[in-house]
Every structure is written in structure tokens, then in C-alpha cells.
Structure 1
Amino acid sequence: MPSFSANLGFLWTELSLPEAVRAAARAGFDAVEMHWPYDEDATAIRAALADTGLPLMGINTRRGPEGAFGLAAVPGQGAAARDHIDEAIAGARALGSAAVHVMAGLGEGAAARVAFEEHLAYACAQAGADGPTILIEPLNRQDVPGYFLGDFDLAGEIIAALDLPNLKLMFDSYHAGRMGLDIRRTFAICQPMVGHVQIAGVPDRGPPDISTPDQRPFLHDLDALGWDRPVGAEYRPPGRTEDSLGWMAGLRHP
């Protein structure tokens, strides 16, 4: 039976992160994940995680300047990219986060790939064997035009080329679906390198039970493969988060 992590970058956004953690616990989530917790009180977040017993699955590096989606694959931004990585790893250690998603940013070509690989190697070295897993996530270019890591094949090539034990793939079924990929087949190919899974409805990024194709078979695949980590619910609720949670009971029994 799948378990679920509330992505607090999209859910309960009207609340502070500590309050959102407690709301997720009341709603029956098994874990939480956050986008950018850096400007909130880390002590209060830690207290909410401790009080609820919810594990923190992951946080992101900062997006960077207005309109950016990270800096790790942007040539000429090395110092800022490393600062963001250092900040995220320190934040993950302080909050007990299992992973850090290193955001690539906008770019293309050989120079962008060199920059991305250099910064991922740096992130993995800084995290070390006892630190958070480093994640990369392909984002569809309909939503994020110009994003460097815009397909799963490139992500797989980079992970294979670097061959680092703490570098993994974040597999988001929404982005795979928006790329026009067969979600189940793509995951089966990627599965050995996957470190975290997220879901949302395709094509509108709404609740995950309102999706074309139906994602219940995908969750059944995860269950059959013995996936034992919470699946991230990273969707945009159409109204109050509490009113959008009917999907969870149904998808716990795909």
C-alpha cells in the first residue's frame, strides 16, 4: 500500500511551514517535503517535525534570481551555485532532510552540461556518505521553457557519467506525462537510479486521481516493486488543500 508525502511547496501554502507540517499530519500524510525552507524559523520547523513524527523527504536549492529555476547548469554562475548547494546541504542537515534537489536552471549545450556535472560532483562531495542524497529532476519544457534538464535520457546519461553513489533521480510522473512519455514504461527504465517519486494529475497538475492516463497502475507498479518510501504529492489544489484530499484514500488501494 503506497504511503504519501505532502509537498508543502504546493499544499497549505497559506500557512507557515511549521503549521503546514502539522496540517499534513492531521490530514494523514506519512511524510512532508519542502521547496525552499530557508527564510523560515528552522527551530520551529524541527519542532513541528519532531512533534508530528513526519520525516522530511527533501528540500530544493534556491531558484536564484527572478525567472531562474536554479543555477547549477548556468555557465559563469559557479560561486552562486556552490553557495546555494552549501546552503541547501546545511539546511538539510539542520532539518534532517533525506535529500536535496539541485535545480539545474536555464541553459543548453556543452558548457551548461559541464557546469551541471561539476556542481553535482561538488554537491555529492559536500553531502558525503552520511549526508542527504543529491537529486536531479527532469522538468518538462512546456512548463519551464529552456530548462537544462528537460528529459529523462539526459538525466540518465549524467547520473551514469558521474557514477556517484549519492546522486539519484527524482521521478515526477507529472513531468513524464507532460513530456508525452509512458509513465509506467519510463519509470521501469529509470527505476535503478530513482531516489524519490512524485505524482500529480496530468495535464493540469491537479490532484493525482484526475489524470490522463490514470495513475493507479503506476502506483500499483511501485507497490509491486517493493517501493517503501513515501510518494510525494506535488500538485496544485484547486481550492483549499483540505478539500482536495479525496484522492488519497482511493490511491492507497490502487
Structure 2
Amino acid sequence: MPRLAANLSMMFNEMPFLDRFAAARQAGFEGVEFLFPYEFPAADLRQRLRGEGLTQVLFNMPPGDWAGGERGLASLPGRQGEFHESLKRALDYATELDCRQVHCMAGIVPPDVQPGTAAAIYAANLAWATELAAPAGVKIVIEPINHRDMPGYFLNTQAQGAAIIDAIGRDRLGLQFDVYHVQITEGDITKRMEKYMPVIAHMQIADVPARNEPGTGEIGWGYVFRRMDELGYQGWVGCEYRPAGETVAGLGWRAQFGL
């Protein structure tokens, strides 16, 4: 049975962020993830996690100027120094929160940058990041993201991500397999899950097309969840969806699919 983690950036938005930890625990979740922790002192987040007995499953490295449209730095030329500092900051939080995985966003490549240049910078940054993260007990993960939601994002397909992981090393770099992005970009969800399971370190879910909870769209979730079990997936499954209504009222999908 998949281990579900509530995504506190998207779920429980009816309340302030720091109150969402208790709400997630009360709703039956044992793990949480979110986009970025940096607005809050790590000690405050750790207190919430420990107070509720929650596991911090995942968060993202600083993405650059998020408000200005940036979505990561790893493939951007001339930003390597900023990338290095952002990783160090993320690892400080990971250590404080006892979080074993950190997502490194590839970034939206400027139109005047050649794909080969972006690829070389991306590979070099990831290799450096994994060298620094591994001794801290942290695995870096990378996530292909669809171009409908994030036009111009550098990493788009599972094959592209898997090739980078194999080049750098599966022990240090993993694939973040988001069912929502896979369905939009490539489809054939469970066959891709089967093919790339050896490199998948984390999974996330949301239905298509509206990115709401499972059961509200076109994906056959009963089969998807069953295949996760049959393929032996042991990691967490992040509920990175936008509730169609009030968060708790929409959690009936867990019982519907035997979770």
C-alpha cells in the first residue's frame, strides 16, 4: 500500500501554513512535503514535525526568483555560484528537518541559450550537488515537468531524467515520478512506471486535467495504485494536488482506492 504524504503547499490551504502540519496528522497522514521551507526558520518547522510525529519527505531547493518566473537554476548559464549557495541552504534545512530527499529544479532555459549549453551546465551542477549531498545523507531528485504548466522547463521526459541519473549514479540521484506530469507529457503511465522503477526515488499524484485529487479526472487510479504495489515501490507518494473544494472533505478518494 502506498505511503501517502500530504503536500502542505497545496493542501490544507484553509489555514496558515504552520497549522497545516497538525491538520495533516489529524487527517491521517504520517509524512509531509512542500515546495519551499525558506520562509520559516528550520527550527520552527522541526518543532511542528516532531510535535505531530511527522516525517519530512521532500522539499525543493531555492528556485531563484520565483515571483519573477524562475523555476530553478540548475540549467541556467552564469548562475552556478547562486546554484551552489542554494544547495548549501537546502542541505542545512534538510539536516535540521531530517529530510532524506531534496528536489533540484532544472529551470526554464532562456531562449538565447543553446540546448547543448544548458545540458552541460545541468549535468555539471547535478554532479556537484550529489557530491555535496551524499555525505549529508541526502539524495537529490529531479522531476520532469510538463510544458503546459511550465513552458520552457528544461527537463520534460522520464527518459531524459533516467539518462542523467544513470550517468551520474543511481545511488546519489533519483527520479521524481509525478503521475500528473507524465500523463500530460507522455501518457502510458504504468508502462513508464514499470520501465523507470529502478531509478524512481519519489512519486507524486494529482488527477488530469485540473490537478485535483485522484478520482476527479481521467486517470485510472485503482490500476495505477495497484501497479505501484506490484512493482514493489517502497517510497513515499506525495499528494501534490489542488483540492477541488475543502481539503478534508475531498479526502474520500483514499477509501475509494483502498488507501
Same fold (TM over 0.5): yes
Segment drifting more, 170-179 vs 103-112: 103-112
- Which of 127, 137, 141 is equivalent to 1:135? 141
- Which of 182, 188, 199 is equivalent to 1:193? 199
Contact 1:216 1:251 in 2 (8 A): yes
Partner of 1:28: 28
**Pairs within 5 Å for 1:21-170:** 21-65=21-65, 66-107=68-109, 109-170=115-176
2: CA distance between counterparts of 1:20 and 1:132? 25
Partner of 1:209: 215
2: CA distance between counterparts of 1:153 and 1:229? 20
Find runs of 4+ consecutive structure 1 residues off by over 6 angstroms: none
Q: For 1:13-70, what per-residue CA distance to the aligned partner results, in whole angstroms no more than 9, with x for missing partners?
A: 3544431111100001121011100111322211111122111111101221110100
**1:164 Cα deviation from its structure 2 partner:** 5.0
**1:232 Cα deviation from its structure 2 partner:** 0.7
Equivalent residue letter for 1:149: L
**1:177 Cα deviation from its structure 2 partner:** 0.5
How high is the TM-score relative to the length of structure 2?
A: 0.93
Indicate whether 1:240 and 2:243 are aligned: no
How high is the TM-score relative to the length of structure 1?
A: 0.95
2: CA distance between counterparts of 1:41 and 1:103? 22
Percent same amino acid at aligned positions? 35
Partner SS state of residue 119, structure 1: helix
**1:165 Cα deviation from its structure 2 partner:** 1.5
2: CA distance between counterparts of 1:100 and 1:72? 13
**1:124 Cα deviation from its structure 2 partner:** 0.7
2: CA distance between counterparts of 1:23 and 1:171? 26
Q: Which runs of 5+ in 1 are unaligned?
A: none
Contact 1:137 1:170 in 2 (8 A): yes
Equivalent residue letter for 2:61: T
Cα RMSD for the two superposed structures: 1.5
**1:86 Cα deviation from its structure 2 partner:** 1.2
Segment drifting more, 121-130 vs 188-197: 121-130
Q: For 1:144-163, what per-residue CA distance to the aligned partner results, in whole angstroms no more than 9, with x for missing partners?
A: 00000011111111111222
1: CA distance between counterparts of 2:237 and 2:39? 26
Partner SS state of residue 57, structure 2: coil
**1:228 Cα deviation from its structure 2 partner:** 2.7
**1:240 Cα deviation from its structure 2 partner:** 2.1
**Pairs within 5 Å for 1:223-238:** 223-238=229-244
Contact 2:7 2:240 in 1 (8 A): yes
Partner SS state of residue 58, structure 1: strand
**Residues 30, 209 of structure 1: alpha-carbon distance in 2 compared, 3 angstrom cutoff:** farther
Contact 2:14 2:246 in 1 (8 A): no
**1:211 Cα deviation from its structure 2 partner:** 2.9
2: CA distance between counterparts of 1:206 and 1:141? 18
Q: Which runs of 5+ in 2 are unaligned?
A: none
**1:130 Cα deviation from its structure 2 partner:** 4.2
Partner SS state of residue 92, structure 1: helix
Segment drifting more, 100-109 vs 136-145: 100-109
1: CA distance between counterparts of 2:79 and 2:41? 28
Equivalent residue letter for 1:78: Q
Equivalent residue letter for 1:49: L
Equivalent residue letter for 2:29: F
